Structure 1
């Protein structure tokens, strides 16, 4: 028998990154592992509910959104991660050393987790809480990366070199040189090293059946499926008003809050229809900015998403990873209106899997939205495909399998040191 291990987990302070990790942390704690979870203060309660000990970044981390061209966004985000890595490693190096963890698990965006594990010569494990995108996918289909991940189809630099077969490689080489010179780290791979902080073991909360270009993911990537972890959400919601009509859930995440036009489109399209609609605005959206609420809508700043999805017939979503995976686990087909960055890849994954429809216009017309909603609700194909993906999540092995592999990997690597 192995002794109980102490584990440090480094997370990202976004709901879409924290929520997918809670089940894993709970399972590790249930196995007897001592888990210390670093995140920002607003996430303390939900992390402590798993049985993990919470540690605060003390204001050192604050993830958000950057709006700009795709290539600009990639450079800004890479610089953000590298800068945060430098700051956090310097601030926490001695604290982590004193904790003497046996291994470190970190979000794929937390390069500092990989750096600290390497510095302490202990096993490191990366977790893809978002949609996995690795460098090998771009080599498989460079145009897909440039146009659907970077959203660079109209970027002057891309248009200038679009016909060149090595335009992706030239871009990556240039970005690597810029970042390498600034941080004294030549030779870094922008995608795999910075955005994925890849390790010898990388957990993917999905199945190969749902993953785009799954064939390029080698055995270091453990697809363990997706499991819902119940969240205690003390939200006052009028469940008694749900009257049995087909239920549509509308939510565009917790970060974006300048979507009044899109909310109004939903009102105009679905108001006073045969459907009942639950809409989550996000806590930063002013309800008074979007006009009168139709009688068949229930609109709140925040709703208990898992409870609503368990009752919903369709989900109009921005396409964040957390929302898509939770929808699939409830076999709820989606209408995806991506707004930023990786949500466009999520929309494509949903469409390719037949689990919903991707609307490429972030602000569709009333007619487009209504036709798409009707199609998703009336054609059983979409629900059947959601059921198929849901089954693939279960057959991937689940969190128990993931914990088995984590513990096995960590102990074996220690034994081989």
Structure 2
């Protein structure tokens, strides 16, 4: 039996994709200790892992933002949390005697502790992966679609100049290294990706943008939607047999009023049934004119709804996109923040749905997009093709075998 320590990030979109992996490790006989914040205790313990709390030290809340300044602020945040948690947890983790440390790509403290303790480390991309090599091959994509820095004065000043991206990343990386007392780093791979000799990606190369940029250290393990034991019950008997459009905008966004209004006005009176999840933070009593063909609830069992849905209108979070693909449900993606813009592009490129960014998210365009994905079978076929590509990776069983083999090899090498 191996001792495995996992360091998570306290966001649903980062915890949920890891639960299947942790359960497989436990079923294999490995002892797993999973660090996260207290609200995730229940779902983590149900995998069979031992839960350990960050004791309120993480609070990895996400905020809207774009541009080079936000990029720097986020890097500072990750490294400050990384140093704090690595120092606080060093002795405790050392006493656990881990044979392997697996960590979220944003959990820099996991990478730090693996290096300090001299044990193999594995980085896990629970969201849409972005690496330095992608930006090298398409700097404009990185600046305008990932950083959302098209209007940033610094980008405008140097746009089009040779080596603009390389100079920017080198400058930012040196700045970050000096500020945090690090050696030579690449801010994208080493900070935002916490790159290790083995890096696990919950996707397939068929769905990944710039897949050729990912070398052999990145293991694509597909995606397996893990059932939610804590899902709220849903009145399935209220589904009336019409084509079902499911709408949800995730757990991060709180100010959903405008998006909800557009959705209700766009599909009001249409010959579809709509189930809309508005989240537990939204005051549902504010909705006084809900269309007759809508069922609006704070939270719904997403996987069960996707099994019955004909189309999914989503903000484009990684969980939502991957779970929709696993159910072969075509999407209309309305990205709002962070990597959702990249996720929306991935869906569009795969032919699995339609991307509607903010300026295009109107009643007319949403209505048109929903009917298009409902009526054109090509979108569902493309979704099924990506679902099959997840299965063809070998999935979680292959990932667990690779992690164990990698750990045994590293331990054997260190003992020579």
TM range (shorter): over 0.9
What are the equivalent positions in structure 2 for 1:104-143 lying under 5 Å apart? 104-143=101-140
Aligned partners of 1:256, 1:8: CA distance in 2, in Å?
Answer: 30
Residue 315 of structure 1 is matched in structure 2 by: 312
Q: In the alignment, is residue 47 of structure 1 matched against residue 47 of structure 2?
A: no
Q: State how 1:279-298 maps to structure 2 within 5 Å.
A: 279-298=276-295
Distance between the aligned counterparts of 1:165 and 1:131, measured in 2? 28
Deviation at 1:237, TM superposition (A): 1.8
2:68 pairs with 1:71: yes
1:191-230 map, 5 Å:
191-230=188-227
Q: Distance in 2 between matches of 1:206 and 1:234?
A: 24
The match for 1:148 is 145
Contact persistence 2:303–2:323 (CA under 8 A): yes
Out of 4, 8, 12, the position equivalent to 1:7 is: 4
Q: Shift of residue 243 of structure 1?
A: 1.1
Whether the 8 Å contact between 1:263 and 1:290 is mirrored in structure 2 is: no
Match for residue 240 of structure 2 among 238, 243, 246: 243
Between 200-209 and 359-368, report the one with greater CA deviation: 359-368
- Residue 177 of structure 1: CA displacement? 2.4
Give the Cα separation in 2 of the matches to 1:343 and 1:48. 29
Deviation for aligned residue 1:8: 0.2
Secondary structure (helix, strand or coil) at the match of 1:322 reads: helix
Name the CA distance, whole Å, in 2 between partners of 1:302 and 1:342: 23
Aligned to 2:265: 268
Counterpart residue number, 1:406: 403
> How far does the alpha carbon of each residue in 1:11-47 deviate from its partner, in whole angstroms, 9 at most, with x for none?
0100100000000000000000000000000000000
Distance in structure 1 (CA, Å) of the matches to 2:287 and 2:126: 32
The CA distance in 2 between the partners of 1:163 and 1:220, in whole Å, is 32
Partner of 1:97: 94
Structure 1 residue runs of 4 or more that deviate by more than 6 Å after TM superposition: none
Displacement of 1:344 in angstroms is 0.2
Deviation at 1:322, TM superposition (A): 0.7
**2:182 maps to which residue?**
185
> Could you tell me how far 1:399 is from its partner in structure 2?
0.3
Offset at residue 69 of structure 1 (A) = 2.9
CA distance in 2, matches of 1:186, 1:103: 24
Higher deviation after alignment, 358-367 or 293-302: 358-367
Aligned equivalent of 1:332? 329
**Alignment match, 1:344:** 341
Partner Cα distance (1:68, 1:50) in 2 = 34
Cα offsets for 1:81-114 (capped at 9, x unmatched): 0000010011000000111111100000011101
Between the aligned partners of 2:344 and 2:326, the Cα distance in structure 1 is: 16
Structure 1 position 412, deviation (Å): 0.9
Worse-superposed segment, 329-338 or 359-368: 359-368
SS of the residue corresponding to residue 147 of structure 1 reads: helix
Q: Distance in 1 between matches of 2:70 and 2:328?
A: 33
In 1, Cα distance between equivalents of 2:223 and 2:233: 27
The alpha-carbon deviation at position 319 of structure 1 amounts to 0.5
More displaced 10-residue stretch of structure 1: 63-72 or 388-397: 63-72
CA contact 2:43–2:230 (8 Å) conserved in 1: no
Per the TM alignment, residue 362 of structure 1 is displaced from its structure 2 partner at its CA by: 5.8
1:211-253, Cα deviation, whole Å (9 max, x unpaired): 0010110110001111121111341321110111111111111
Measure, in 1, the Cα distance between the counterparts of 2:185 and 2:399: 28
Q: Which moved more, 1:360-369 or 1:134-143?
A: 360-369
Aligned equivalent of 2:85, options 88, 108, 120: 88
Partners of 1:325 and 1:392 in 2: how far apart? Answer: 12
Q: CA 1:168 to 1:40, structure 2 compared with 1: closer, same or farther past 3 Å?
A: same
Deviation at 1:65, TM superposition (A): 1.9
TM-score, structure 2 normalization: 0.98
Q: Retained in 2: the 8 A contact 1:228–1:326? A: yes
Aligned CA-pair RMSD: 1.1
Question: For residues 215 and 361 of structure 1, do their structure 2 counterparts lie closer, same or farther at Cα, with a shift above 3 Å needed?
Answer: same
Q: What is aligned with 2:13? A: 16
Give the SS at the match of 1:310.
helix
1:292: how far off? Answer: 1.6
SS of equivalent residue, structure 2 residue 76: helix
- Give the superposition deviation at 1:174: 2.2
Q: Distance between the aligned counterparts of 1:166 and 1:214, measured in 2?
A: 22
3-state SS, counterpart of residue 65 of structure 1: coil
Distance 2:41 2:272 in 1: 37
Q: How many residues are paired up?
A: 414
